[in-house]
Structure 1
Amino acid sequence: MSTTQSERLRELLEPLVSSQGLDLEEIAVDSVGRKRVLRVTVDSDTGADLDRIADVSRALSAKLDESDVMGSAEYTLEVGTPGAERLLTEHRHYVRATGRLVRFQLADGGELVARITAADDDGLDLEVPGVKGRKPTVRRLAFDDITRARVQVEFNRKDDASDDKNDKKEEEA
Structure 2
Amino acid sequence: MHRKKKQEKGTEAFPSSIFEIDKSGSVVNETYIQAVAQFMKELLEGDEDCFLVEVKIKPTNNFKVFLDADSGISIARCINFNRALYKKIEEAGWFPEGDFSLEVSSPGLDEPLKLWRQYKKNIGRMVDITLLDGSHLTGKLLEVTEDGCVVEETKGKNKKKEVITHSLLFEHIKQTKIQVVF
User: Normalising by structure 1, what TM-score?
Assistant: 0.76
Partner-residue secondary structure (3-state), 1:121: coil
Moved over 4 A (4+): none
Are 1:26 and 2:54 counterparts? yes
What is the Cα deviation at residue 111 of structure 1? 1.6
User: Match for 1:68: what amino acid?
Assistant: G
For residue 137 of structure 1, the aligned residue among 164, 175, 181 is 164
Q: Where do 5+ consecutive residues of structure 2 fail to align?
A: 1-16, 21-30
Query: Among the aligned pairs, what percent are the same residue?
Result: 25
Partner of 1:147: 174
Distance 2:125 2:148 in 1: 15
What is the Cα deviation at residue 73 of structure 1? 4.1
Change in Cα spacing, 1:20 to 1:75, as seen in structure 2 (3 Å) is: farther
Moved more, 143-152 or 111-120: 143-152
What is the Cα deviation at residue 71 of structure 1? 4.9
Partner-residue secondary structure (3-state), 1:82: coil
What is the Cα deviation at residue 118 of structure 1? 0.9
For residue 58 of structure 1, the aligned residue among 64, 83, 89 is 83
Structure with the largest fraction of helix: 1
Are 1:103 and 2:128 counterparts? yes
Deviations 1:25-64 (A, max 9, x none): 12122245xxx32211111111111221122122112222
RMSD: 2.1
Partner of 2:36: 9
Count of residue pairs the alignment pairs up: 152
Q: Is the 8 A contact 2:39 2:85 kept in 1?
A: no
